[in-house]
Chain A
Amino acid sequence: MFQTYQYPQYDYRQSEEQKAGTVKRHKVVVIGAGPIGLTAALDFAQRGIHTVVLDDNNTVSIGSRAVCYAKRPLEIWDRLGCATRMIDKGIEWKIGKVFFRDDLAYTFDLLPEDGHKIPAFINLQQYYLEEYMVEEAQKSNLIDLRWKHKLLNLQQDDDHAVLTVETPDGVFKMEAEWVVACDGANSDTRKMVGAGFSGQFFQDRFLIADIIMKADFPTERWFWFDPPFHRGQSALLHKQCDDVWRLDFQLGWEADPEEEKKPENIIPRVKAMLGEDKEFELEWASVYQFACRRIDNFRYGRVLFAGDAAHQVSPFGARGANTGVQDIDNLGWKLKLVLDGDAPESLIDSYHTERAFAADDNLLNSTRSTDFITPKNEASRRFRDAVLDLSEVTDFAKPLVNSGRLSAPTPYVESPLNTADESSFAGAMTPGTCCADAPVSVNGEAAWFLNQIGDGFTLLIFGDEAAEDVTAGNVRARVLRVGKDLQDKDGTLAARYDAAPGTVYLIRPDQHVAARWRYFNDNKVEAALKTAMGGA
């Protein structure tokens, strides 16, 4: 197969501790240098935590794998300084089209409003994403990337874990105050702690084929149900960079994965889809089946699970990697506060509370999409086809069409870290919700609101009313005043936050709303700040 990408080989180096034969205790050890493990390293380092990353391989993702990256993870990567490269290289899109048999059934727009720095979605091969994050991580003196380090065993004590690790130089032990397992759906770490990982398996198979071709199809997500070129099944076409296109064919449960992976069987499917005379090269193919399942607890003592190691979803909706990045966004600041002794260790338990809630939301959405795409019996299939038929000729059926509900952040509406509203607010920014972006200006320069927050707790104040920084122990919520520190040029920020003069928002380090009021009161802010730190 033709290749558009050269896989980097990262150097294995024997660590000083293995060479010396001493057991060293680290603050945080991350297992797995995939998209989630690398995000963890960058986030933890940005918060000042020295982080060791172990990976049993020494290169990036083989094959394009995860392709669609959503707005929120890109905002997180923007906070970590590596989103610009991804967006520049990636393909921006926001329009999706769903076809049924020969006709267009439904069109959706994922970001119908302006005034956001980050696009709704980009498509980018996973290997580029990982390569950019590795390069970013290599710049940090707080990140220690260790390739060809395989975790063999893990034992836990009250305040640390002992890791047995194998390298080309043999086996050695290291200790970690916290372990963050980002080692994927087949996580060995999960097996080592004996965690449960249960859910639903789906009896269906899908072929992914990445092809290289010059084509002027628009940069939209095209999804077909029962198309003339692939009768009775679904198909997907999506553009990536370097003229690589992602094709996805539903095959059914009876398909033989080994046979379907052979180029001589893939090429006729592609030709049926694109036309006999379309020139293309096959780059990568994979046949997959999927499951929707979640770990029973994101925390096992000193071991925390993130990404596919904690939850596995079907690919429809791009909820895998996108959700995992948000796990890390949630975890990093909590680990920092606990490591520094500024918050009780129980704050870490809110990582499970909030992210299991989000995982369940993702699993629900993903399972619903899968039930629509892969009907379980003839009656379900008829309802599915009825929805698609009616969606061509009526408005009401369009929202029932489900070719994947694309990843959006889950508000932590029930989180114990929230302080309930005592005044009424309109709009979406309820406590537990991730902050909306808005165009602002800072020192006369155009800027974005989200780039002004996220280092620590922020006290966003609208108007001139008196307010000052509020502290709880060593932790400070820093005043950011609209009208002074930043200008809300066109009122978008005030509109999105339903703000009036005097309105105050307490914003967490992961850019989520913790509390809000119509006026400033330092006692109330201090109480909310303590609540947001797990009752510190």
Chain B
Amino acid sequence: MPQTPKLNLTRNLPDPDGFYEYLVSSQRHMSDEDANCMNARLILILANQIGDPDVLKAAIDFAANPKAAEKREAA
């Protein structure tokens, strides 16, 4: 049984290169501190967009330890 049934970890971005470029260039001229602050805001904005607490919890757990699911599957 999958550990994160609702978290979509398959490809879902229509234009991966375009998204990545937009994200990185938005911070190109920022200090690390400013970029970190922007990241915090961005996480909150995206979290509100998602809303579903199960998805958010799964995403937080996965981000904190991405290898854990792999290890569980291998076991």
Whose C-beta in chain B lies nearest to the C-beta of A378?
A: B36
B37 close to A387 (CB less than 8 A):
no
CA distance A378 to B37 in the complex (A): 10
Is B48's beta carbon under 8 Å from chain A?
Answer: yes
Q: How far is the CA of A204 from the CA of B49 in the complex (A)?
A: 34
The answer to whether B45 and A390 have CB atoms under 8 Å apart is yes
- Of the A-B pairs whose beta carbons lie under 8 Å apart in the complex, a sample of 5, sorted by A's number, is A378-B36, A383-B43, A383-B44, A387-B44, A390-B45
Q: What distance in Å separates the Cβ of B43 from its nearest Cβ neighbour in chain A?
A: 8
- Could you tell me if A385 and B40 are in contact, using CB atoms closer than 8 angstroms? yes
A400: CB under 8 A from chain B?
Answer: yes
A435 to B30 alpha-carbon distance, docked (Å)? 54
**Is B6 part of the contact surface with A, judged by Cβ < 8 Å?**
no
Task: For A389, list chain B residues within 8 Å (CB).
Answer: 37, 41
Interface residues in A361-393 (C-beta closer than 8 Å to B): 378-379, 382-383, 385-387, 389-390
Interface residues of B in 31-45 (CB under 8 A from A): 36-37, 39-41, 43-45
- Inter-subunit contact A382/B36 (CB<8 Å): yes
- Of the candidates A378, A379, A390, the one whose C-beta lies within 8 Å of that of B44 is A390
Query: Which partner residue on chain A sits nearest B37 by CB separation?
Result: A382
Interface string of A338-382 (1 = CB under 8 A from B): 000000000000000000000000000000000000000011001
Pair B48/A386 contact, Cβ less than 8 Å = no
Dominant SS at the B interface? helix
Bound CA span A383–B37, Å: 7
Q: Which residues of A contact B37 (CB under 8 A)?
A: 382, 385-386, 389
Closest residue on chain B to residue A382 by CB atoms: B40
A210 to B40, CA, bound (A): 37
* B42 nearest CB neighbor, chain A only: A386
Is A396 at the interface (CB under 8 A from chain B)?
yes
Residues in B lying within 8 Å of A, measured CB to CB: 36-37, 39-41, 43-45, 48
The answer to whether A397 has its CB under 8 Å from any CB of chain B is yes
Cα of A324 to Cα of B48 in the assembled complex, Å: 36
Distance between Cα atoms of A379 and B43 in the complex (Å): 12
- The distance from the CB of B56 to the nearest CB of chain A, in whole angstroms, is 13
Q: 13 extra interchain contacts, Cβ-Cβ under 8 A, other than A379-B36, A383-B40, A390-B44?
A: A378-B36, A379-B40, A382-B37, A382-B40, A383-B44, A385-B40, A386-B41, A386-B43, A386-B44, A389-B37, A390-B45, A396-B48, A397-B48
Interface residues of A in 56-109 (CB under 8 A from B): none
The closest CB in chain A to the CB of B36 belongs to A382
Distance to closest chain B CB from A365 (angstroms)? 18
Most chain A beta-carbon contacts within 10 A, residue among B41, B45, B48: B41
Chain B residues contacting A397 (CB-CB under 8 Å) are 44, 48
Interface magnitude class on chain A: 10 to 19
**Interchain CB contact under 8 A, A400 and B44:** yes
A382, A387, A397, A400 — which one has the most chain B CB atoms within 10 A of its CB? A382
- Complex Cα distance, B45 from A385, in Å, reads 14
Interface mask (A454-485 → B, CB under 8 Å = 1, otherwise 0): 00000000000000000000000000000000
The answer for the CA separation of A379 and B40 in the assembled complex, in Å, is 8
Q: Which residues of A sit under 8 angstroms from B36, Cβ to Cβ?
A: 378-379, 382
CB distance from B22 to the nearest CB of A (A): 20
Q: Give complex CA distance A387, B45 in Å.
A: 10
Nearest-Cβ distance from residue B57 to partner chain A, whole angstroms: 16
CA distance A423 to B74 in the complex (A): 49
| Residues of chain A contacted by B39 (CB below 8 angstroms) | 382
Q: How far is the CA of A378 from the CA of B36 in the complex (A)?
A: 10
Within 8 Å CB of B41, what residues of A? 386, 389-390
- A303 to B45 alpha-carbon distance, docked (Å): 51
**Complex Cα–Cα for A121 and B41 (A):** 33
The interface centre, meaning the residue of A378, A383, A386 with most chain B CB atoms within 10 A of its CB, is A386
Which residues from 384 to 434 on chain A have a C-beta closer than 8 Å to any C-beta of chain B? 385-387, 389-390, 396-397, 400
Q: Which residue of the partner chain A has the closest CB to B51? A: A396
Q: Nearest chain B CB to A384's CB is how many angstroms away?
A: 9
A389 to B45, CA, bound (A): 12
Nearest Cβ distance between residue A394 and chain B, in whole angstroms?
8
A383: chain B residues at CB < 8 Å are 40, 43-44
**Chain B residues positioned under 8 Å from A379 (CB to CB):** 36, 40
CB neighbours (8 Å) of B45 from chain A are 390
Chain B residues near A400 (CB-CB < 8 A): 44
List residues of chain B with CB within 8 A of the CB of A387: 44
Instruction: Determine how close the nearest CB of chain B comes to the CB of A94; give it in whole angstroms.
Output: 27
For A383, give the chain B residue with the smallest CB separation: B40
| CB neighbours of B43 from chain A (8 A) | 383, 386
B44: A residues at CB distance < 8 A = 383, 386-387, 390, 397, 400
Q: Which 6 A-B pairs have the closest CB atoms?
A: A386-B40, A382-B40, A386-B41, A396-B48, A383-B40, A382-B37
Measured CB to CB, the closest approach of chain B to A101, in angstroms, equals 13
B46 to chain A, nearest CB (A): 11
Bound-state CA distance A396–B48 (Å) is 7
> Which residues of A have CB within 8 Å of B48?
396-397
For A386, give the chain B residue with the smallest CB separation. B40
**Minimum distance in angstroms from A417 CB to a CB of chain B:** 31
Instruction: Determine the distance from Cα of A397 to Cα of B43 in the docked complex, in whole angstroms.
Output: 12
Bound complex: CA A383 to CA B40 (Å): 5
| Nearest CB of B to A137, in Å | 48
Looking across the interface, which residue of chain B has its beta carbon closest to that of A385?
B37
Closest to B49 in A: A396
Shortest B37–chain A CB gap in Å is: 5
Question: A9 to nearest B CB, angstroms?
Answer: 55
CA distance A390 to B41 in the complex (A): 7
Whole-angstrom distance from the CB of B47 to the nearest CB of chain A? Answer: 9
